[in-house]
Structure 1
Amino acid sequence: MWSYLSLLPVILALWAIAGIWLVSCITFHPVFAIAVANRSVDLKKGFPFIRLLWLKGLGGAGREKNQKGAHMAGAFLAFILGNLYFWLQFLLSWIKGLPQPGPRWVKLLRLSFCVISTILIVASILPRE
């Protein structure tokens, strides 16, 4: 009864996780390239990927303040449009002619997740004291 397309979300999630780790751990960061060129890092002893991971994390720490417009556009796409997609999935689960995967309680679980995420998004947008 399950088609291979039902595995697509799992495959895409695993692919995204692998891509993040691949970019974070293996990509040659400019500081790492300079360290290899200066011979302060010996690649024959092993690959020091923990240092590259920390540098990437520290490099991205100041982006929210320096690139506020890009940060807000990304947050809009991730949270607001993602939440609209969740609501669309919830509404499609109530249409009678469409196939209904899973038991009945899945609809209530989707509704609760949609309501909770909407409340949290609205709470994050409201001005604070």
Structure 2
Amino acid sequence: MGGFPGAPPRTQGPLPCSFALAVSNKTVNLTEGFPYISLCGSFPPQSCIFSQFLNIGAAMVAWISVLRYVQFREWGIPKFPNRLCLGSGFLCALGASIVGNFQQTNELSMHLFGSFLAFVVGMAYFWTQLVLLRLAKPRAQPGAPWIEPLRLLLCGLCTALMVAMIVLHFWPRRSEAAVCEWSTAMLLFVLFGLLAVDFSDATGFAISLQSRPRSCPSGAAHLPSL
């Protein structure tokens, strides 16, 4: 099975859409404070849009994580840290799907667990990439020299906003915490978008499945794996 890598996920559109619908149908009241993302996506019809696009985004994040894993392998990144990075990408995708399917008004504990995976583990995914690229220094890495400092700046800013969001939530200064949450989500989308630079010189890739010959003993077959 072969194909082109494709573009990074573009799930930022439904979030403002959910916000606009929530304000227009008065399920959130801006006079009482700026709402969290989850509150905007808790009630229909915006909850339907919220869930659908987060599921699509989760599938795209998982696919991008696989592409990044294959790319890192080609760049000589060691197998264990590369798999660790892949696993964090999968967990981020799982978290996004959980957030979309378990609204906070229906199942708060699962929703918070999904938020942890999407935000915290998702942020760890990009920090891991930065560390691996810094240590390996692949010559084939595409993009302008300022891409890496930009990623570092965005990761630092995103982490700071995430910490501020948690602190402000328990202060409690919920409106300010919500602004930090929205900003963190947008920065994560930007970080995923920047991966288009890394995939810009990739024309495609192929995944092949090799069947074991009937005459070959079960332990003698060699099947390539990720």
Query: Could you say which structure has the greater relative contact order, defined with CA pairs below 8 angstroms and 6 or more residues apart?
Result: 2
Does structure 1 residue 56 correspond to structure 2 residue 45?
Answer: yes
Distance (Å, rounded) in 1 between the aligned partners of 2:47 and 2:135: 47
Instruction: Tell me which of 156, 175, 188 is aligned to 1:115.
Output: 156
Structure 1: give runs of 5+ residues left out of the alignment.
Answer: 21-53
Residue type at the aligned position of 1:102: G
Tell me the matched-pair count.
87
Match of 2:9 in 1: 13
Aligned residues of 1:87 and 1:114 also touching (Cα < 8 A):
yes
Deviation at residue 97 of structure 1 after TM alignment: 4.5
Deviation at residue 9 of structure 1 after TM alignment: 5.2
Report the structure number with the largest CA radius of gyration: 1
Structure 2: give runs of 5+ residues left out of the alignment.
Answer: 15-42, 51-101, 173-226
Match of 1:24 in 2: none
Does structure 1 residue 75 correspond to structure 2 residue 115?
Answer: yes
Change in 2 beyond 3 A, CA 1:122/1:90: same
Runs of 4+ more than 4 Å apart: none
More helix by share: 1
Residue type at the aligned position of 1:100: Q
Match of 1:95 in 2: 135
Q: Output the TM-score relative to the length of structure 2.
A: 0.32
| Cα shift readout 1:50-87 (whole Å, capped 9, x = no counterpart) | xxxx9432577x93133111110110111001000110
Does structure 1 residue 128 correspond to structure 2 residue 171?
Answer: yes
Deviation at residue 96 of structure 1 after TM alignment: 4.2
Distance (Å, rounded) in 2 between the aligned partners of 1:90 and 1:9: 22
Distance (Å, rounded) in 1 between the aligned partners of 2:162 and 2:6: 24
Distance (Å, rounded) in 2 between the aligned partners of 1:102 and 1:94: 15
Distance (Å, rounded) in 1 between the aligned partners of 2:144 and 2:136: 14
Q: Quote the sequence identity (%).
A: 30
